[in-house]
Chains A and B, each alone.
Chain A
Amino acid sequence: MTRAKDIMHEGAQWITRDETLTRAAQVMQMLDVGALPVSDDNGRMCGIITDRDIVVKCLARGGNPDRATAGDLCEGTPRWIDANADVEDVLHEMESHKIRRLPVIENKRLVGMISEADVARHLPDNQVAEFAGMIYSTAK
């Protein structure tokens, strides 16, 4: 069985919810990533923010990224997957919620992330194609 931790990439980094979006942008630039998990004061994940969130939920509304925080952009139920979950469950989670990045949690700690690139690298062509069809049917 292929598990979530077999296809994830390690070294995912959090930011805490009270950090500014300017800081979040700098971390995204530095790590060359498009999404960051956000943690609360107790180290629990409260959401994930993307570069696009900063643009459409802050800048486009006239917000100031020096004042708005990562926590301001977190909404809804944060999606994640257990490190030992089957890869089928990973795909189901990403397809059904049309999300491109999934945090991987083990013993309540963030141990990695699964992105579309990880899926493409580790799965056979037919699964990648089905995944792409589901995820990108709403891609802009």
Chain B
Amino acid sequence: MARTTGGRPLTCRDIMHEGVRCIGAHESLFEAAKLMRELNVGSLPICGDDNRLKGLVTDRDIVVECVATGRDPASVEAGSLGGALHWVAADADATEALETMEIHRIKRLPVIDVADGHRLIGMISESELAKNLTDEQIAEFAGRVFAAP
């Protein structure tokens, strides 16, 4: 990983984890639940037929927007969930990821390689932040983001 010793600021690419799996927009929430279990993740990017990022579905979204409303997860498409879409560019400064997550109170952020076909190449979650940030940054982030359920 290109973490130079020359004092270059960390980029989003430096701190993200790679190997992101998507759920297709037309796949069901039942499929999404199985994939979350299999991968041991709490959220999945939603990809459209053009393989571009369409949104993000979390385990909580499935509970609140599907189970609580009495709908069958097998008959609800992943693409019908997912609110506002937030992401960062891979080469943006890592603090931009932190700011985006703080402002929008989100715990997981997709990373897009804008120069290379606008592809989804990774995710940044709270565990990546905890590993890479200063104590003050983590405390500020925790105070703002974890106020959300």
Residues of chain A at the chain B interface (Cβ within 8 Å): 21-22, 25-26, 28-29, 32-34, 51-52, 54-56, 59-62, 65-66, 115-117, 119-121, 125-126, 128-129, 131-133, 136-140
Contacts and interface: CB of A to CB of B under 8 A. Distances in A.
A26 B147 CA distance: 20
B37 interface: yes
Contacts of B42: 52, 140
A121 B148 CA distance: 13
For the complex, would chain B's binding face be called helix, strand, loop or mixed by DSSP majority?
helix
B41 interface: yes
B64 interface: yes
Given A116-B142, A132-B126, A140-B125, A56 B63 contact: no
Interface of B: 29-30, 33-34, 36-38, 40-42, 59-60, 62-64, 67-68, 70, 73, 125-127, 129-131, 134-136, 138-139, 142-143, 146-149
Given A25-B64, A59-B30, A125-B135, A52 B130 contact: no
B33 A121 contact: no
Contacts of A54: 59, 62-63, 67
